[in-house]
């Protein structure tokens, strides 16, 4: 009889203890989940800020009124037309260092940011490939009309990169809830007939 008197309170104490333990697990799990969400949000913001800085830098360069792409194109093509042996020197570039570094974590970006960012970097890769062609022996040995077409395509790729970059910057700023601060786009290449796709 005495043993039976202890069974009720012992069961209640065990149930209370189990309830406290389970509640602690649930609370701990919720805290860990909230902490993980916070870390992920911080990582997403860090990646977006890094990409934004890299893209904005190149967009600013391509939008610089002191180095207008159309003016440069016209000047170089004019020199090429005047001198059949003139081969413009095209410097190599590196405008994708951050992107290549974060590529394994591209999945942390919001869906609405991935497309414009990837499209921009695809344009940067196309410019890199064109620069390699313009610095190669094939370009130097080509007829001047062909060199003018290739150089025109190169400048066209840069104009498109500026526009794609501005779209990517807008998407990143919207995702980061920041006011937009994008340079104004310039006009496309003039209608001057020199061949090449624009």
Residue 187 belongs to some domain of the structure:
no
Domain that holds residue 46: 42-175
Asked whether residue 188 carries a pLDDT value surpassing 90, the answer given is no
Residue 107 belongs to some domain of the structure:
yes
Report d(CA 69, CA 90) in Å as an integer: 13
As a whole number, the mean pLDDT across the chain is: 85
Residue 16 belongs to some domain of the structure:
no
Asked whether residue 184 carries a pLDDT value surpassing 50, the answer given is no
Residue 22 belongs to some domain of the structure:
no
The Cβ of residue 153 has, within 10 Å, a number of other Cβ atoms equal to 18
Residue 8 belongs to some domain of the structure:
no
Report d(CA 100, CA 95) in Å as an integer: 10
Burial string for 158-196 (b: 16+ CB within 10 Å, else e) reads bbbbbbbbbbbbebbbebeeeeeebbeebeebeeeebeb
Q: Could you report the per-residue pLDDT of 155-173, keeping only the tens digit for each?
A: 999 999 999 999 999 999 9
Residue 149 belongs to some domain of the structure:
yes
Q: Could you report the per-residue pLDDT of 103-121, keeping only the tens digit for each?
A: 998 888 999 999 999 999 9
**pTM for the full predicted model:** 0.75
Q: What percent of the chain is predicted at pLDDT more than 70?
A: 86
Q: Are 62 and 161 in contact (CB under 8 A)?
A: yes
Residue 190 belongs to some domain of the structure:
no
- For 25, the 3-state DSSP assignment is helix
Report d(CA 49, CA 186) in Å as an integer: 25
What pLDDT, on the 0 to 100 scale, is given for residue 4?
57
- Give the chain's domain count: 1
Residue 96 belongs to some domain of the structure:
yes
Q: Could you report the per-residue pLDDT of 19-45, keeping only the tens digit for each?
A: 787 777 777 777 777 777 788 889 999
């Amino acid at each position: 009889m005495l043993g039976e008197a202890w069974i009720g309170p012992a069961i209640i104490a065990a149930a209370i203890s189990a309830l406290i333990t389970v509640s602690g697990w649930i609370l701990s799990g919720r805290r860990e989940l909230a902490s993980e969400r916070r870390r992920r949000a911080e990582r997403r913001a860090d990646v977006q800020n890094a990409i934004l800085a890299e893209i904005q830098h190149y967009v600013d360069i391509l939008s610089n009124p002191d180095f207008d792409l159309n003016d440069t194109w016209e000047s170089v093509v004019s020199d090429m037309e005047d001198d059949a042996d003139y081969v413009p020197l095209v410097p190599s570039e590196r405008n994708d260092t951050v992107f290549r570094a974060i590529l394994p974590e591209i999945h942390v970006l919001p869906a609405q940011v991935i497309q414009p960012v990837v499209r921009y970097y695809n344009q940067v890769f196309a410019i890199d490939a064109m620069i390699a062609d313009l610095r190669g022996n094939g370009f130097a040995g080509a007829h001047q009309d062909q060199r003018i077409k290739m150089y025109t395509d190169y400048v066209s790729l840069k104009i498109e990169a500026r526009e794609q970059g501005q779209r990517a910057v807008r998407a990143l700023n919207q995702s980061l809830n920041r006011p937009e601060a994008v340079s104004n786009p310039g006009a496309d290449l003039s209608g001057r007939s020199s061949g090449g796709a624009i």
